[in-house]
Structure 1
Amino acid sequence: MLSTILSGDMPRSRILAALLIAILICLAFAPFIFPGVRSVDTAARICIFIVLVASYDLMLGYGGIVSFAHTMFFGLGAYGVALACTHMGRGFDALLVGSIGGAALAAVLAFLIGLFSLRVRAIFFAMITLAVASAVAVLVSQMSGITGGEDGLNYKIPRELTPAFKFADEKIMGVRMNGKLLNYYLIFTCSLLLFLFMLRVVHSPFGRVLLAIRENDFRAESIGYRVVHYRVAATCMSAAVAALAGALYAIWLRYVGPDTSLSMEVMIDILLMVVIGGMGTMYGAVIGATLFVLAQNYLQGLMGAASEAVEGLPILPELLSADRWLLWLGVLFILSVYFFPTGIVGRLREGKKT
């Protein structure tokens, strides 16, 4: 049963299996295990970024396609929901139309980019996607009448998904039974289903052909596979899932702006998560996104506490200052790449083989 749900992709490592189960339990019961606005917000972001990173891994890890336009697809889904809620009101129909519309637009744009660009060498395709993504980001910033420009858009989502809606008066384990809880479980459920869908895709015949193309595209083409068609299909599917992740992000935040969904910083974060977790594994998206989002949210606070603990000692308080958290995040990334060149998931699975 479990093997069927996971499309036959078992962890193949006891440590990895334990980590995945722990992450699943923590995310499934996050509002009850870690009560508090910040912790629940962190859990929701982890869910969304797992889907976003998994969709990028379909392109990079399985298809060997290097793209810098993934935040553009992510942003299309987010702005789709924002615009739909702004013009259609705060109903669930607006969320559905915005999500589907954003995903469809992302797939069409990915199709056009892929059709005209995937025939060139990988580095040129990467540069083309970077140029298109930059152009879209500038366009969104300048169309302030529609997109809100640099200020972004604030909008209302259905009342049933906001703290104002209460479906029970009593608290359960100290947690209020309100729309914010429903909103979190909407994010969690959709993220889980999308991740399982991605697992199914990469372990289907389509996914196996992608792996063959990644390993040797000339050989794959010589035995009859249309390499460009498969790469375009993978790009479109990856873009659509990324847009759906963006739609979930917009539903959770109730705000969309260029900095939250279209910036190059988000693209760099996605790349780091893929590398840390392990390319071409899917489970790497779970591990990478969880570790990175936790570091983003809590490393600065931990460093501040450590700096206070060693106050009075030479040099250490300055090195551990909370203002230098990005420096230490970079150090942690370098160490992870050095000790886990195939990512954490790849290293754990290699350890199982030995």
Structure 2
Amino acid sequence: MFKALLSHDLPRSKLLALALAIAVLGLAFTPFIFPGTKALNVAAKIMVFIVLVASYDLLLGYTGIVSFAHTMFFGIGAYGVAIASTRMGPGWEAVALGLGGALLASLLLSLVIGLFSLRVKAIFFAMITLAVASAFMTLASQLSDFTGGEDGLSFKVPEALQPGTEYLEEPFLGASIDGRFLSYYLLFVATVALVLLMLRIVNSPFGRVLQAIRENDFRAEAIGYRSVVYRTLSNVLAALFACAAGALLALWLRYNGPDTSLAFELMLDILLIVVIGGMGTIYGAVIGSVLFVLAQSYLQDLMKLGADRLVDVPLLSQLISPDRWLLWLGLLFVLSVYHFPSGIVGRLRLRAMLHEPTTGRPRVGSTPPGGGGGPLPPPGGSVNKESS
């Protein structure tokens, strides 16, 4: 049952399984262990990034497509919920209409981009997506009557998710059972469901074809697969998942603006997390997002604590000054890439594949450290038959 839930793509490493268990349990019980506002916001940001980064890994790690327009679809999902809730008022109908409209817009836009741009070379496709994303951000900033412009849109969520809605008068295990509590677990359940769905996709016959195209698109074409069709479908799926992540962020923040969901810095963060966690592994999105967001949120506080204790040591206290937290974050990233060139998940899986924990002997017949293995399905209509 557990294997089926993970689409038979097990961690294949005890250390990785332990890290994933700690991450999932930590996120599941954050409201009870760390009931503070900052901890909840950090945990919610981690879950949004998990979905967003995993959707981008579906595009980059599994298909080999470099796109800079991923945050555009993320912003479309956030703006869809924000605009609908602003115009229609708080209610589940507004959320449903906003999410549905955003998903439809993302589907059509990603389909157009895929069909007209994926025939060109990779570098030109990346430049095209960068231009489209920049144009979309400019439109979002200038259409003040529709998107709120640079100030963005603040809106009210359905009453069941509002912080003022209390379900229990007294806290339960230290956590206030209110609308914010319900919002958090709505985000948690949606994140788990979306990640499991992406695991199912990448471990299906369709996902194996994507990996074959990533490794050698000429060979995939030669044996009967139309690379443009599969790449376009991968682009559409990644856009839809990114759109869903944007809607989750908007529901949690009850606000959306250009800097929140469309900034180019956000695209750089996604790329960093994919590299840190490991490309071509959905689990890498989980590990990378947890480590990156925690470092981004708490590294400055830790450095301030250390600087206060070492105030009598002039040079050292200046080096670990909180104002230099970005320098140390960049250094940590360089070290992680140096020691984990295939990402943390790739390194752990490779280590588990090469040596048995007990005997230290090479493991025979293991699958590669990246995504799921298995033979390619035959081209044509047999794909659906095999997958069923």
Normalised to the residue count of structure 2, the TM-score between the two structures is: 0.91
How big is the shift at 1:308? 1.1
Equivalent residue letter for 1:337: V
Report the equivalent of 2:134.
134
Please say if 1:2 is aligned against 2:6: no
Structural mapping, 1:60-75, within 5 Å: 60-75=60-75
How big is the shift at 1:194? 0.5
Report the equivalent of 1:343.
343
Q: Deviations over 1:19-47 (max 9, x none)?
A: 00011101111100111000011111111
Q: Quick one: distance in 2 between partners of 1:42 and 1:96?
A: 26
SS at match of 2:113: helix
Q: Deviations over 1:275-327 (max 9, x none)?
A: 00000010000000111111111011001111111111131111100011011
SS at match of 1:119: coil
Report the equivalent of 2:266.
266
Report the equivalent of 2:375.
none
Q: Quick one: distance in 2 between partners of 1:345 and 1:104?
A: 34
Q: Quick one: distance in 2 between partners of 1:274 and 1:239?
A: 16
Equivalent residue letter for 1:4: A
How big is the shift at 1:167? 1.0
Structural mapping, 1:1-354, within 5 Å: 1-354=1-354
- Unpaired runs of 5+ in structure 2? 355-388
How big is the shift at 1:122? 0.4
Larger Rg: 2
Q: Quick one: distance in 2 between partners of 1:130 and 1:53?
A: 18
How big is the shift at 1:107? 1.5
Q: Quick one: distance in 1 between partners of 2:102 and 2:312?
A: 54
Equivalent residue letter for 2:224: G
Name the % identity: 60
Equivalent residue letter for 1:161: L
How big is the shift at 1:59? 0.3
Equivalent residue letter for 1:60: L
Q: Quick one: distance in 2 between partners of 1:170 and 1:314?
A: 49
Q: Deviations over 1:65-96 (max 9, x none)?
A: 00000100000000000011011110011111
SS at match of 1:62: coil
Q: Quick one: distance in 1 between partners of 2:196 and 2:9?
A: 11
Q: Deviations over 1:94-122 (max 9, x none)?
A: 11111121122112111101110000100
Larger helix share, 1 or 2 = 1
Q: Quick one: distance in 2 between partners of 1:159 and 1:237?
A: 31
Equivalent residue letter for 1:293: V
Q: Quick one: distance in 2 between partners of 1:17 and 1:264?
A: 33
Q: Quick one: distance in 2 between partners of 1:101 and 1:6?
A: 30
- The total of aligned residue pairs comes to 354
| RMSD after superposition | 0.6
Q: Quick one: distance in 1 between partners of 2:316 and 2:168?
A: 50
- Unpaired runs of 5+ in structure 1? none
Q: Quick one: distance in 1 between partners of 2:327 and 2:167?
A: 45
Equivalent residue letter for 1:302: L
Equivalent residue letter for 1:47: M
Q: Quick one: distance in 2 between partners of 1:21 and 1:293?
A: 18
Q: Quick one: distance in 1 between partners of 2:242 and 2:104?
A: 11
Q: Quick one: distance in 1 between partners of 2:195 and 2:257?
A: 25
Q: Quick one: distance in 2 between partners of 1:12 and 1:209?
A: 22
SS at match of 1:170: coil
Normalised to the residue count of structure 1, the TM-score between the two structures is: 0.99
How big is the shift at 1:243? 0.3
Q: Quick one: distance in 2 between partners of 1:160 and 1:69?
A: 33
Equivalent residue letter for 1:113: I
Q: Which is worse superposed, 283-292 or 310-319?
A: 310-319
Equivalent residue letter for 1:281: T
Q: Quick one: distance in 2 between partners of 1:54 and 1:296?
A: 19
Equivalent residue letter for 2:205: P
